[in-house]
Amino acid sequence: MTPSDETTWSTVTHLSWIAGSLVALPFLAPLVLFLVLKDRGPFVRHHTAEALNFQLSVLLYGLGVAALGGLLTIITFGVLAPLWALAGGALLVAAAVFTVIAAIASSRGDWYRYPLTIRFVR
């Protein structure tokens, strides 16, 4: 794979969660691209692994926010429901912003690492 192809596929992988979101599985497209492209070069492997790890981390954080928010909503009889919704929205906005930053970095040829990401795949 040429360096130009590697940067293109790396950028596509970071933004592929949008396609996965259409079927309510934002990690699915990065997973497929990781499995297909992981042996095509070190740059594309790094970025596909980063995108997959980030989407899996966001999924885990989202489940945590939902569980904690649901529990707090029940305990406080719905008083904290707006806070739970705000936390979930903030997580989605942060995920979108970090994904765009990663896509821009990979299109420039930079080796980007997402913050607060659990490294499931290396």
Q: For each successive 10 residues of the chain (122 residues), what is the average pLDDT?
A: 91 91 86 94 95 96 93 88 90 95 96 95 89
Q: Residue 41 in contact with residue 9, Cβ under 8 Å? A: no
Model pLDDT, residue 80: 83
Q: Decide: helix, strand or coil at residue 56.
A: helix
Q: Residue 58 in contact with residue 91, Cβ under 8 Å? A: yes
d(CA 31, CA 109): 21
Burial environment of residue 122 by CB neighbours within 10 A (0 to 12, 13 to 18, 19 or more): exposed
Q: Residue 61 in contact with residue 91, Cβ under 8 Å? A: yes
Domain parsing of the chain, residue ranges: 14-108
d(CA 50, CA 37): 13
Q: Report yes or no on whether pTM surpasses 0.85.
A: yes
Model pLDDT, residue 79: 87
Model pLDDT, residue 119: 94
